[in-house]
Amino acid sequence: MHHNDHHLVLGGQRSGKSRRAESLAAAWLATPGREAALVATAFAGDAEMADRIARHRFDRAERVPGLATVEEPRALASAVRALAAPHRLVVVDCLTLWLTNLLMPLAGQAVDGDRLDAAIDDLSDVLRAAAGPVVLVSNEIGLGLSPLTHEARRFVDELGRLHQRVADQCANVTLMVAGLEVPVKRRASAA
């Protein structure tokens, strides 16, 4: 993985997408002098979510001990900008929760269309200029039936749009299905 080889890892719930991102981080950390940091976007709005976050934090530390964790539920572009460096891999887990925090926050105001566009533009700009590689994890939820409510349809639409913007900045895109990698986009080999 080179400094600008961003990687988008998509999949359904429990598809193996976070594990794939962790394996990329572990491979990165195998080279001396390298660091890795995970930006966790989850927000503990209730006891079950707080337990889930704690379990993820513990499991991640067991699997990838050198992976530092930064929790940032909304200011994702700023967090990636601050962490990106040639010697550091940044893992974002996950874009789905980040978008949820912007559109349907448990605390605070949802962003309007213009502010959402600005947040996505800012993330895209940060990825374009990042000094080091970024792995982004997200749920692919656009493969099923069209949601019944306006809010749910908007969320599916906005997440699909976000995925397209991020995929455009990534050298690699992988779809995880049942723990298996399905390559969607791969960096072209040098001739």
CA distance 18 to 2: 20
Catalytic residue annotation: 56
Taking the C-alpha atoms of residue 69 and residue 71, their distance in angstroms, rounded to an integer, is: 6
89 neighbors 36 (Cβ within 8 angstroms): yes
Inter-CA distances, 59 with 20, 55, 94, 131, 185, Å: 14, 6, 16, 28, 29
Residues linked to residue 172 through DSSP beta bridges, in sequence order: 7
In this structure, what token pair is assigned to residue 118? 């600005």
| 177: β partners | 180
Please name which of 177, 170, 173 lies closest in space to residue 185, comparing C-alpha atoms: 173
User: Residue 15 and residue 31: Cα distance in Å, rounded?
Assistant: 28
CA 107, CA 126: separation in Å to the nearest integer? 26
